[in-house]
Amino acid sequence: MYIIIFTIAVALDQITKLLAIKYLKHAPTIKLIDNWLHLTYLENSGAAWGIFQSATLFFSVITIIICFAICWYLLKNSNNIDMLIKLPLVMIMAGAVGNLIDRLRLGYVVDFIFTPLGGLYNFPVFNFADIFVSVSAIFLAVYLFFNEEAL
């Protein structure tokens, strides 16, 4: 089941990025919900929020190490891990692999979702892989904070 979830998540990320390249790369920003949700094309050669620009090799190596560590942990402990830990780890890995594919294939990560939050704060442009990693990491942190025995 987790392999299917992983595959679907990576496919969703990659398909939406291919669509962004095809339809957004040379187009103006599309405002889906004015001041709340826009589609805009961005090539990010750094990490989250565009920090550490041009560190593609570094982030590729770190991503591979993290993915191997998560795989090793899941395989070694597969019978003893709560589903509410397995699923976020799989989604973190899917997001990491989605962005890794971009880095290896293009030399940068394609970002295209922009949420200006009603004009209050211009959140950095992101993609589905970023959503998978961020939401899963936050969920996992909160879950482990309130369920220490889950470790």
Buried b (16+ CB within 10 A) or exposed e, 28-47: eeeeeeeeeebbbbbebbbe
Q: Which of 27, 31, 29 is nearest to 40 (CA)?
A: 29
| Count of domains observed in the chain | 1
> What domain range includes position 112?
1-24+32-146
Instruction: Say how far apart CA 145 and CA 138 lie, in whole Å.
Output: 11
Torsion of CA 129, 132, 138, 143, to 10 degrees: -150
Respond yes or no: is residue 130 known to be catalytic.
yes
Q: Which of 13, 34, 82, 130 is catalytic?
A: 130
Is residue 64 assigned to a domain? Answer: yes
Q: Which of 13, 34, 102, 111 is catalytic?
A: 111
Is residue 94 assigned to a domain? Answer: yes
Q: What is the pLDDT of residues 35-85, one digit of tens each?
A: 899 999 999 987 665 556 666 788 889 999 999 999 999 999 888 889 999
Q: What is the pTM of this model?
A: 0.89
Q: Are 44 and 51 in contact (CB under 8 A)?
A: no
Q: Quickly state the pLDDT bin for 113 (edges 50, 70, 90).
A: very high
Q: Quickly state the pLDDT bin for 151 (edges 50, 70, 90).
A: low
Is residue 151 assigned to a domain? Answer: no
Is residue 39 assigned to a domain? Answer: yes
Q: What is the mean pLDDT of the chain?
A: 91
Respond yes or no: is residue 34 known to be catalytic.
no
Cα R_g (the chain), whole angstroms:
16
